[in-house]
Structure 1
Amino acid sequence: ALKDLDEMGIIRIGAEVKEGDILVGKVTPKGEKDLSAEERLLHAIFGDKSREVRDTSLRVPHGGDGVVRDVKIFTRANGDELQSGVNMLVRVYIAQKRKIKVGDKMAGRHGNKGVVSRIVPVEDMPYLPDGTPVDIMLNPLGVPSRMNIGQVMELHLGMAARNLGIHIATPVFDGASSEDLWDTVREAGMDSDAKTILYDGRTGEPFDNRVSVGVMYMIKLH
């Protein structure tokens, strides 16, 4: 839609775009060989300038629907290196929301990465005593193999912060100590081991062992 283009004909950041929408408005002069016989006749008689250009705008390709996240403009005037014959280059970055699927790679903030092996309905996921289902289940073998204890600390601290209704920042090299973590866990009313009973969503029976359940930041790796 033209309403989302700026005065230079470039799409604005934050615009929702779908297939066929214009990202960069552009016209290219027609060569004499590009004109039809009728256009050449009209041009010879009336000098019709509007027929000397053709629409070569950059449009959203098939399957490219999304939200414009960034636009970068490169020009020779700004000292940018461009190919011969190119005076301006515009790059448009579009973010797409995609559903997670089997085979996608997920990761946390501590080098803890893994591949999605199975996706089940939410009613089949393990759930807490209050009925809250978990979102992601991680293989516990990923902790001793990489020795990244930070993910366990983030898990417990995240759950404590959720229970207390607060936000916690733990910067690198200046984050919460083990004492701070366990003090916060106790303040949140959690058990001393920060674990909980988890129930099988398929049978409704509790698992044999208590499980570490918490809140942790996860991202999708490309």
Structure 2
Amino acid sequence: MDIILQESKNAGNIGAIARAMKNFEFSNLILLNPQCNHLSKEAIDRATHAKEILQNAKIIKKLDYDTLIGATAIIGTDYNLNRTPISPETLAKMQLKGKVGILLGREDHGLNNEELESCDIIITIPSSKKYPTMNVSQAAVILLYELFKHSKKIKNGENIKLATKEQKEILLKLIEERTQKMAFSTEYKKETQKRVWKKVIGKSNLSKREIMALFGFMKKIK
């Protein structure tokens, strides 16, 4: 699992996250369009004994993952579907396969709606309504701890063959085609249906058997 930092501006935060990664046995640090030097003295000092994670960090310009998980501090509602998150504990119990990345937002304003919409799963850390925001490195510690804590339990499902990203995309295309032919009172409701299905499929750990059953069902809908 990759830990991805979106346009980080603070080298100290990058170092602190690298340290947390080593604490909880994560090693793949990805920097998406970083705005600072991740090998600066400040970053290395904050990383302490996790210097090698900084040295091995990859810098990228775009994302390409089978499952992309976005972290946000804002809790969504049914009227803003691209911000309907799950908790880190729920995420930790999921059996995710393939290339998986957790996207942590910018220090100043996190992830925007468009970026959250591109994610398959959205997570948020429950906190006080009086002061819900937290430093990105603090959020990373909590998230990585939950994933580490449940890592042994997740192994129980290792033999289950899960649906691939390509199979999920084919299923979503089938759903979109069928939805397009259905009568809705407004175009907004039609688009809402599409977004709901995208989030449901993104959050679920469909097995290959389950997704094949859904293929058959959708093909029967004219």
Q: Please give the TM-score of this superposition, normalised by the length of structure 2.
A: 0.19
Higher Rg: 1
Give 1 or 2: higher helix fraction: 2
Give 1 or 2: higher strand fraction: 1
Query: Which structure is higher in RCO with an 8 Å CA cutoff and minimum separation 6?
Result: 2
Q: Please give the TM-score of this superposition, normalised by the length of structure 1.
A: 0.19
